[in-house]
Amino acid sequence: MTEAVYTQIADDLRREIAAGALRPGDDVPTEAELAARWQTSRGPIRNALAALRAEGLIETSRGRPARVVARKASQAVDVSVPFTRWARDLGVTPGAQTQELSLRRAGDHGAALGVGPDDTIVSVVRLRLLDGRPTMLERLFYTEAVGRRLFEVDLDAVSITEHLGSQGHPIVGLQHVIDAVAADEQDAALLRVPQGTPILRLSRTSRDADGVIFEASEDRYLSEVVRFTVAASGISTDGHYMRAVGT
């Protein structure tokens, strides 16, 4: 009986959040108020709130009521999905503001692209937005032959991944590395956060059909907006790790 009650309470609060009756930033009714509404003890109330917290719908802290939070957009990292398509699949409008498109010496980025430090590469810096909200700052580096294709289009209006794919440079293989870094001066200014704020960094190297690296990128996401997910096929036979699907 207790399990059914807490499930009903969670469902009711979930519907209120989905309908906008409880919006991000709003306080959830207190445990006492919910217990009175449902004529139950605080045990089922706490179980219901724990379920919503696990789903990322609310946050709780000692000494104050639970609060509704903005739901984070999830991005799978075991597959390559262009930001533009990912945003549209989420039902939000993607945006881009190009900060830089230039030819430059490879320098330290040459190693990631398999070229020498004095070779020419193409560099791109773009701010990406979801429904007009700054969400991610991408720094992209391309081998010269591939990157020159980007001077042909308006980078604020196209998906670079899809454009290069249409020009004979699809991403066939990739490697992702995820970590957290402190926002530098450029991150802070464009993502509108204080310098030093922890942000999620997704570094990627992309290969063509011949296995040649043509792109090295570093995407910096606001952790309050985006979370990364990995699909896994299960526990290995030795019970020590899970293998990501698609890697």
33-47, 54-68, 151-165: segment of lowest average pLDDT: 54-68
The verdict on residue 221 lying in a domain is yes
Query: Which residue do the tokens 């799978």 mark?
Result: 76
Phi/psi for 216 (5° steps) reads -130, 130
Residue 13: give its domain's CATH number.
1.10.10.10
Give the number of other Cβ atoms within 10 Å of residue 130's Cβ.
Answer: 20
CB-side exposure of 74: number of CA atoms within 13 Å?
8
- Provide the pairing of β-strand 226-229 with 73-76: parallel
| Nearest residue to 124 (alpha-carbon basis) of 86, 81, 78, 158 | 158
Based on the fold, state whether residues 167 and 56 are members of the same structural domain. no
Q: How confident is the model at residue 81 (pLDDT cuts 50, 70, 90)?
A: low
Residue 131: give its domain's CATH number.
3.40.1410.10
- Residue that is last in its domain, among 68, 87, 118: 68
pLDDT score recorded for residue 216 = 96
In terms of Cβ atoms closer than 10 Å to its own Cβ (0-12, 13-18, 19+), residue 161 is: buried
The verdict on residue 209 lying in a domain is yes
* Percentage of the residues of the chain whose pLDDT score is greater than 70: 84
What domain range includes position 62?
2-68
Based on the fold, state whether residues 12 and 97 are members of the same structural domain. no
230 pLDDT more than 60: no
Spatial contact of 181 and 199, defined as CB atoms under 8 Å apart: yes
Joined together, the tokens standing for residue 88 give 């549209």
The pTM of the full predicted model, rounded to 2 decimals, is 0.64
Measured CA to CA, the distance from residue 199 to residue 193 in angstroms comes to 10
| Nearest residue to 115 (alpha-carbon basis) of 139, 142, 140, 83 | 142
The beta strand positions in 88-247, using DSSP E, are: 94-105, 120-130, 133-143, 173-182, 198-207, 213-221, 226-229, 232-235, 242-244
pLDDT score recorded for residue 240 = 43
209 pLDDT more than 90: no
Based on the fold, state whether residues 22 and 39 are members of the same structural domain. yes
Based on the fold, state whether residues 23 and 91 are members of the same structural domain. no
The verdict on residue 245 lying in a domain is no
The verdict on residue 36 lying in a domain is yes
Spatial contact of 73 and 223, defined as CB atoms under 8 Å apart: no
244 pLDDT more than 50: no
Based on the fold, state whether residues 79 and 199 are members of the same structural domain. yes
* Domains in the chain, number: 2
The verdict on residue 244 lying in a domain is no
Based on the fold, state whether residues 169 and 103 are members of the same structural domain. yes
Joined together, the tokens standing for residue 156 give 């604020």
Residues 100-143 have pLDDT tens digits of 999 999 999 999 999 999 999 999 999 999 888 898 999 999 99
- Residue that is last in its domain, among 68, 86, 109: 68
At 67, the amino acid letter reads R
The verdict on residue 246 lying in a domain is no
Based on the fold, state whether residues 117 and 178 are members of the same structural domain. yes
Residue 11 Cα distances to 15, 51, 53, angstroms: 6, 10, 13
Measured CA to CA, the distance from residue 218 to residue 182 in angstroms comes to 14
243 pLDDT more than 60: no
Based on the fold, state whether residues 85 and 58 are members of the same structural domain. no
Based on the fold, state whether residues 111 and 170 are members of the same structural domain. yes
The verdict on residue 243 lying in a domain is no
The verdict on residue 240 lying in a domain is no
- Residue that is last in its domain, among 68, 96, 126: 68
The partner residues of 94 in beta bridges, in order of sequence, read 130
> Max Cα separation, the chain?
73
Helix (H, G, I), strand (E, B) or coil at 14: helix
18 pLDDT more than 60: yes
